Amino acid sequence: MRVLSVVGARPNFMKLAPVDRALVKRGVEHVIIHTGQHYDPGMSDAFFEELWIPAADHHLGVGSGSHAQQTAAVMQRLEPFLLDVRPDLVLVYGDVNSTVAAALVGAKLQVRVGHVEAGLRSGDWTMPEEINRVVTDRLSDLLFLPSRDAAENLGAEGVPADRMHFVGNVMIDTLCWALPQALAFDAAARHRLAGGPYVIVTLHRPSNVDDPAVLRELLDALGRLAAKVPVLFPVHPRTRNRIGELGARRAAGSGLELLEPLGYLEMLSLVAGAALVVTDSGGLQEETSFLGVPCITVRPNTERPITCTHGTNRLVLPRGDSVLAAAERALGRRSPARPVIERWDGKAAERIVAVVCDDARFDVDGAAASPPQVARRAAAIPVPLGAS
């Protein structure tokens, strides 16, 4: 059997790593294509090295561009390669532009497509990732679900239950694999934070960083927080560019410690020891929930409601006062007990490979019986702080 994985952006790489290991363990030929959507060494190469992912078999070299340009370039450059390799299955990961582009190419060439992290929905059509999720799921033959609510979402869209496999969360596979190394790394001590509480921040969503007024308000709030507790902010390239446009003086004077993007182990080490994470990332909502670290997600909604209902996540609107109030409330809320979320157990990739190699099934009870008109969400829809 020959499986071809297409990855391109930072959050794809943590999802690929455990799947690659599990496929190789079963003797499956695994071809890896890197689209080049993310190309900075700190956004790409560092993850391949730290997560022991073999070098990609082929780079499409797509780079940055508008959504249409990026999606089209992946499609154009991937098609001849797929025609040549003729895999039995194309695996795509998450919700980035590379994901939907690769799913389109595979589906049109009548190659089976498997989507790792299927069925998540924010219900927010203004998010490019939501469009990517819906389209990718519609094109995929095998849907690998990280949480039970994903089956309800897919059922509501009329997706047949026999395509769904509730395998669990591959991000947590990677976290479990890397945690001992991350703790040994002791990043807090390296950043002279050992012993005291500190906050980690990441922000990169267009809705938070592309509007200068919103970004300025968020930076001001984080600056006020930094006056009380150390705040470290590894900055995504998109955000770095936007902060640059606001003027370097503002960032320098905000009291925040702005860092280059961090590698996986250093970031995990810092997050595991943090008193609080403030973010708009999808992966961090999951990682903090698994670790029991309080998390504030600066978004009006989430495609990962289970992190609010069963984990440590709270939504807050991108308003300075709301973010500051939520952060102050969350500081000190860390409990020694870690939440337990079903099938977030480090074995999701093994289940995926059992489906791919053995035709195993991981049913979600009741999903098939839930017709679209009576479909309901397993997890209540979280309401963000600051919403009137």
Q: Which residues bind ligand UD1 (CB under 6 A)?
A: 9-11, 37-40, 43, 64, 95-97, 128-129, 204, 236-238, 241
Residue 273 per-residue DSSP state: T
Tell me which amino acid residue 220 is. Answer: D
Alpha carbon distance 216, 251 (integer Å): 9
Alpha carbon distance 208, 185 (integer Å): 31
CB of 36 to ligand UD1, least distance (A): 9
Alpha carbon distance 92, 117 (integer Å): 9
CB of 58 to ligand UD1, least distance (A): 18
CB of 382 to ligand UD1, least distance (A): 19
Q: Which C-beta is closer to ligand UD1: that of 269 or that of 279?
A: 279
DSSP string covering 165-191: EE---HHHHHHHHHHHHHHHH-HHHHT
CB of 352 to ligand UD1, least distance (A): 21
CB of 299 to ligand UD1, least distance (A): 12
Residue 198 per-residue DSSP state: -
Q: Which C-beta is closer to ligand UD1: that of 202 or that of 312?
A: 202
Query: Nearest-CA neighbor of 10 among 273, 284, 353?
Result: 284
CA distances from 214 to 36, 209, 279, 379 (A): 29, 7, 14, 29
Cβ neighbours around 358 below 10 Å, total: 9
Contacting residues for 195 by C-beta, under 8 A, at least 6 apart:
none
Alpha carbon distance 214, 216 (integer Å): 5
CA distances from 202 to 71, 239, 357, 368, 378 (A): 25, 9, 38, 38, 28
What does the buried/exposed string (b/e) look like for 78-99 if buried means 16 or more CB atoms within 10 Å of the residue's CB? beebbeebebebbbbbbbbbbb
Q: Which C-beta is closer to ligand UD1: that of 131 or that of 179?
A: 131
204 is catalytic: yes
Q: Which C-beta is closer to ligand UD1: that of 147 or that of 208?
A: 208
Alpha carbon distance 187, 206 (integer Å): 29
| Active-site pick, 34, 165, 204, 236 | 204
Alpha carbon distance 247, 243 (integer Å): 7
CB of 56 to ligand UD1, least distance (A): 15
Report whether 312 contacts 292 (CB < 8 A): yes
CB of 301 to ligand UD1, least distance (A): 15
Alpha carbon distance 372, 356 (integer Å): 28
Alpha carbon distance 318, 378 (integer Å): 26
Q: Which C-beta is closer to ligand UD1: that of 251 or that of 355?
A: 251
Q: Which C-beta is closer to ligand UD1: that of 238 or that of 250?
A: 238
Tell me which amino acid residue 129 is. Answer: E
CB of 194 to ligand UD1, least distance (A): 28
Q: Which residues are catalytic?
A: 204
